[in-house]
Structure 1
Amino acid sequence: MGGMFGHHQGQVVDRNDPDGIGRIRVFIPGIFESPDYSGWIKPFGLFDAVEGRGFFIVPSMDAMIMIVFLYGDALKTKNARYIVGPWGAPAGVTDVPSEAQVGGVVSPDISVMAFNGFAIVVDERDTFKKATLLDRTNGSFIRLDIEAQSIDFSSVLNFNKTVGQDENTDITGDKIETISGSKTCDTVTSDEKTAASKKSPQPE
């Protein structure tokens, strides 16, 4: 089946690759139809594509993707490659992630990698410049903000920290803690030493 040059739009019908390398099978009207869907098609390499590096994500079931056939031969699916399909506006409503929108308008300067529960958001608008790892279920986030020169953590639920060895904190400015509940500090195997410098009292 030659002459299939260019890009062809398909729909994912199987993503459980028996070899575990991110391949999919697709439905393409007029080319691969039920029950004889395509063979296993590999992803087109994004970013770095050497061993242990690069970008790995398998499209969801029913996702629309683009297929390219090597030399236009649709029978050689082992040499074909798929590319994640474009965003659209089914029923007139955009399906671009909300994190890429500002006031309901899509911003070309906000890049988003969105999953069911998480999103990675890189905002490069003028006067913003921040990268965020976001919990889409409750709004918790970790954010690197270039403009504000800050790293922000916000947890709606619990915040747990485990340090395998030493922890060193060097604060040049002030430290402010606001605790609504109680604070407990347990020293298990060694003494806790606290050194504090105090201002000398000024004569009245």
Structure 2
Amino acid sequence: MSLEKVVANLVQKVERRFYGKYRGFVVDNADPEQLGRLRVTVPSVLGSDVVTGWAMPCVPYGGDVNQGFLFMPEVDAGVWVEFEEGDLEFPIWVGTFWSKPGGESELPKPNNADGSEQGSVQDPPTRKIIKTKKGHTIQLEDADGEEMVTIQEAVNEHLITLDSNGITIKDGAGTIKIEDASGNEVVMDSSGINCKDSSGNEIKMNSQGMEYNDSNGNTIKMDAMSGFAGPGVKVNAGCNRVCLDSLITWLLQHQHVGNMGAPTPLFPANMADLIAARSGAPNGILSTKIKVE
């Protein structure tokens, strides 16, 4: 074959190849082979009505079993398209691009520390943002004095913020539950806070006050009937009123020197109150804000 023929064949081959990147638009992202492929239109090469075969992804990380960088563009998203070895039969999608339809940038808008979305694209762009179609967002702010990381679940309005004020966890509509591998847990919801360990010891805090239950069945309640600054004390039958019984017995048996020099017990009225206290009946010795069961 002459040199001229070889050159002519090469020119013809090059003329039928398409090298470089072309703007495309996603038509279908539901790959039946689950390989991250897309079907796209490439108007400048195939016209607006022709849809390519399944375009293979070109992503920064992956290529092995159960690992990789998986962010599938939505239908109608703008993507950059190439063709393997320039062959139209083997399209590749290699990234995405944004536009300005109606004069407004399609770049994701940043969120404030409370989760609300700012009205415009950040300028200058000091914040790294990952945001989905539903608004789920991860943000990393690098601006001096404004360093912050936020993780937001947009539908139920759950938000974690890490900034100079510390770590804040906000629950939008449900319950915050923290649990370790041993079964210790803290539950926070609209009714209050409940802390429980794996042994069955439990502390409840709600609008009624505080309650402590241990694994032995003992209970301490602090509520509106207490004489403390806020909640109160409830001594139940499990305690058997050991301390109160001993004190009352000592008082009933105690005698002191009277005016005539003879041993004298408590005044009868006091004795009646002490006897009533031992039985749990109303009395003048124990505060009415200490309940004995």
- Structure-2-length-normalised TM-score: 0.52
- For the pair 1:89 / 2:100, whether they are aligned, the reply is yes
Residue number among 134, 137, 140 corresponding to 1:122 in the alignment: 140
2:32 and 2:50 map into 1 onto residues whose CA distance is 18
1:42 and 1:129 map into 2 onto residues whose CA distance is 38
Measure how far apart 1:8 and its partner are: 0.4
> What's the counterpart of residue 200 of structure 1?
none
> What's the counterpart of residue 161 of structure 2?
143
> What's the counterpart of residue 5 of structure 1?
19
2:59 and 2:86 map into 1 onto residues whose CA distance is 19
Q: 1:188 to 1:62 in 2, by over 3 A?
A: same
Measure how far apart 1:157 and its partner are: 1.3
Deviations 1:114-136 (A, max 9, x none): 11141111111112222211133
Measure how far apart 1:52 and its partner are: 2.3
1:105 and 1:26 map into 2 onto residues whose CA distance is 28
Q: 1:112 to 1:183 in 2, by over 3 A?
A: closer
Tell me which amino acid in the other structure corresponds to 2:34: G
Q: Larger Rg: 1 or 2?
A: 2
Tell me which amino acid in the other structure corresponds to 1:93: E
Tell me which amino acid in the other structure corresponds to 1:98: K
> What's the counterpart of residue 133 of structure 1?
151
Q: 1:188 to 1:110 in 2, by over 3 A?
A: closer
Alignment of 1:49-198 (within 5 A): 49-75=63-89, 77=90, 80-99=91-110, 104-106=120-122, 107-115=124-132, 116-137=134-155, 139-145=157-163, 147-148=164-165, 150-161=166-177, 163=179, 164-167=181-184, 181-184=191-194, 190-192=200-202
Q: 1:2 to 1:156 in 2, by over 3 A?
A: same
Deviations 1:57-87 (A, max 9, x none): 2111111100122222222x1xx42133222
Higher mean C-alpha displacement, 17-26 vs 152-161: 152-161
Which sections of structure 1, spanning at least 5 residues, go unmatched? 170-177, 194-204
Indicate the structure whose relative CO is greater, using CA pairs within 8 Å and at least 6 residues apart. 1
In 2, are the aligned partners of 1:15 and 1:25 still within 8 Å (CA)?
A: yes
Deviations 1:8-53 (A, max 9, x none): 0011111111101110011111433476411111211224544322
- Structure-1-length-normalised TM-score: 0.72
Higher helix share: 2
Which sections of structure 2, spanning at least 5 residues, go unmatched? 1-14, 112-116, 203-213, 215-293
Higher mean C-alpha displacement, 111-120 vs 153-162: 153-162
Percent same amino acid at aligned positions?
24
Q: 1:47 to 1:122 in 2, by over 3 A?
A: farther
Q: 1:29 to 1:184 in 2, by over 3 A?
A: closer
Tell me which amino acid in the other structure corresponds to 1:135: E
Tell me which amino acid in the other structure corresponds to 1:152: T
> What's the counterpart of residue 21 of structure 1?
35
> What's the counterpart of residue 254 of structure 2?
none
2:192 and 2:84 map into 1 onto residues whose CA distance is 64
Q: 1:183 to 1:85 in 2, by over 3 A?
A: closer
Higher strand share: 2
Tell me which amino acid in the other structure corresponds to 2:19: F
